[in-house]
C-alpha cells in the first residue's frame, strides 16, 4: 500500500509528456496470480491472470465512482 501511495504522489508532482501531470488509478490486493510474457518476438505482451487480478481490476474501476486514486 505504501508503494501505491508513493507512486500516486510521484505521478502528481513530476511533469510528464508535455509538462502535465500523470493521473492514474490503482487497485491494490493480495493473493496468488500468474505473471508473465506471452507471445513471440514479433508480438510479445506482458499479462497477469487469476481471480485476484480480476479483483484488482474491479477495485481500480471503483476509484472512478468514488473519485479516488488508490
With vertex at residue 21, the alpha carbon angle to CA 25 and CA 45, rounded to the nearest 5 degrees, is 55
- Categorise residue 32: left if φ over 0, alpha if ψ from -120 to 50, beta otherwise: beta
Specify the pLDDT at position 36.
Answer: 93
Specify the pLDDT at position 18.
Answer: 75
| Separation between Cα atoms, residue 33 and residue 60, nearest integer Å | 17
The whole-number average pLDDT for the span 51-62 is 89
**pLDDT digit string, tens, across residues 10-46:** 877 777 777 777 777 888 888 998 999 988 889 999 9
Specify the pLDDT at position 70.
Answer: 80
25 with 57: CB under 8 angstroms? no
Domain map of the chain by residue range?
2-66
30 with 52: CB under 8 angstroms? yes
Amino acid at each position: 500500500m505504501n508503494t501505491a501511495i508513493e507512486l500516486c504522489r510521484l505521478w502528481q508532482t513530476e511533469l510528464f509528456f508535455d509538462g502535465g501531470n500523470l493521473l492514474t488509478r490503482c487497485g491494490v490486493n493480495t493473493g496468488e496470480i500468474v505473471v508473465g510474457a506471452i507471445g513471440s518476438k514479433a508480438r510479445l505482451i506482458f499479462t497477469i491472470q487469476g481471480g485476484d487480478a480480476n479483483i484488482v481490476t474491479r477495485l481500480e474501476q471503483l476509484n472512478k465512482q468514488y473519485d479516488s486514486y488508490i
